[in-house]
Copies of this chain bind each other. A is one copy, B any other.
Amino acid sequence: MRTYLDCLPCFLSQALRAARIATDDEALIKRVLDEVGRMLGDLPLESTPPESGRRIYQKVGEITGNRDPFRVLKGEGTREALALYPSLKGRVEASSDRLATAVRLAIAGNVIDFGPDRAFDLEREIEMTLENTPAIWDYPAFRDALSGAREILYIGDNAGECVFDRILIEELKRPVIYAVREVPVINDATYKDAVQAGIDQVATIVSSGTDAPGTILHTCSSEFQKLYHQAECIISKGQGNYEALSSERRPIFFLLKAKCRVIADDIGVQEGDIVLKMI
């Protein structure tokens, strides 16, 4: 997905939010805004938003000296999700279509995101995602793709959300490779976060090698690129991965909640809609 004009003020808002979490020093925060403001002219609309996001969050780290401002929030998100795990499992077990319920829960977990919007109510979000009709629901194709695949590449998004991914992985009944970011960026899941969520018990965790808040292939390791190009079925979670991969020609299923109007428009749905979309 290209960068839209509306992304530019959002980049600045995100820089402000991250800088505030990284430091209390107003002068440093102002410097972040000044420098990110100056950077906007160098961000081509042709590049994907996570390419710009990568540079912006690097700048926040560079100026504030805090390379992992979301560390504490990530831990809290995972603990909150783990506390819900038994009841979420119960919902899957009680449902008439376990896989479909697990997909919806995995999408519900995508609300744990400190990038575009920090405010969310996880339990309410779960209820809404289970009740509302998805705007795009390529579920039959998804089920077919799963049954034909020997192994699934599952590209994770945010820490905390991993717990919800684990529930879906447990329903896939196939070997799963779970890809995380190489280093902390926003609240995206790294190896450590995935382990904390218990993903290591249900899948093989690999790093994609990227330091961007989305799977921008040219920033990924050659090992990951090989995995990606060989994968028979790919599950991509969240906006950042959608933004990075939406123009690809691989068997990808995007699971996400459209948390901003720009992405909703790009997909052709309404803001707030939930989506299971085959590429």
Residues of chain A at the chain B interface (Cβ within 8 Å)? 5-6, 8-10, 12-13, 16, 20, 26, 29-30, 33-41, 45
Q: How many copies does the complex hold?
A: 2
Residue of B8, B26, B33, B36 touching A16 (CB-CB under 8 A): B8
Say how far A210's CB is from chain B's closest CB, in angstroms: 26
Residue of B9, B39, B41 touching A9 (CB-CB under 8 A): B9
- Chain B residues with Cβ under 8 A from A5's Cβ? 16, 20, 26, 29-30, 33
17 new A-B contacts at CB < 8 Å, known A30-B45, A38-B41: A5-B16, A5-B20, A5-B26, A5-B33, A8-B16, A8-B37, A9-B9, A9-B10, A12-B12, A12-B37, A12-B40, A26-B45, A34-B40, A36-B37, A37-B40, A37-B41, A38-B38
Say how far A43's CB is from chain B's closest CB, in angstroms: 9
| CA of A20 to CA of B13, assembled, Å | 20
Whether B12 pairs with A6 at a CB distance below 8 angstroms is: no
**Top 10 closest A-B pairs, CB basis?**
A34-B41, A37-B40, A37-B37, A9-B12, A9-B13, A8-B33, A38-B38, A12-B12, A9-B9, A34-B40
Whether B38 pairs with A33 at a CB distance below 8 angstroms is: no
Whether A16 pairs with B12 at a CB distance below 8 angstroms is: no
- Chain B residues with Cβ under 8 A from A12's Cβ? 8-9, 12, 37, 40
With CB as the reference atom, state the residue of chain B lying closest to A3.
Answer: B30
With CB as the reference atom, state the residue of chain B lying closest to A36.
Answer: B37
- Chain B residues with Cβ under 8 A from A34's Cβ? 40-41
- Chain B residues with Cβ under 8 A from A8's Cβ? 12, 16, 33, 37
| CA of A41 to CA of B20, assembled, Å | 18
| CA of A233 to CA of B10, assembled, Å | 42
With CB as the reference atom, state the residue of chain B lying closest to A38.
Answer: B38
Residue of B9, B26, B30, B37 touching A38 (CB-CB under 8 A): B37
Say how far A42's CB is from chain B's closest CB, in angstroms: 9
| CA of A241 to CA of B5, assembled, Å | 30
Q: Which of A12, A13, A37, A45 has the most CB of B within 10 A?
A: A37
With CB as the reference atom, state the residue of chain B lying closest to A45.
Answer: B30
- Chain B residues with Cβ under 8 A from A41's Cβ? 34-35, 37-38
Say how far A33's CB is from chain B's closest CB, in angstroms: 5
| CA of A41 to CA of B150, assembled, Å | 54
What are 20 of the A-B contact pairs (CB < 8 Å)? A5-B16, A5-B26, A5-B29, A5-B30, A5-B33, A8-B12, A8-B16, A8-B33, A8-B37, A9-B12, A9-B33, A12-B12, A12-B37, A12-B40, A30-B45, A33-B40, A34-B40, A36-B37, A37-B37, A38-B41
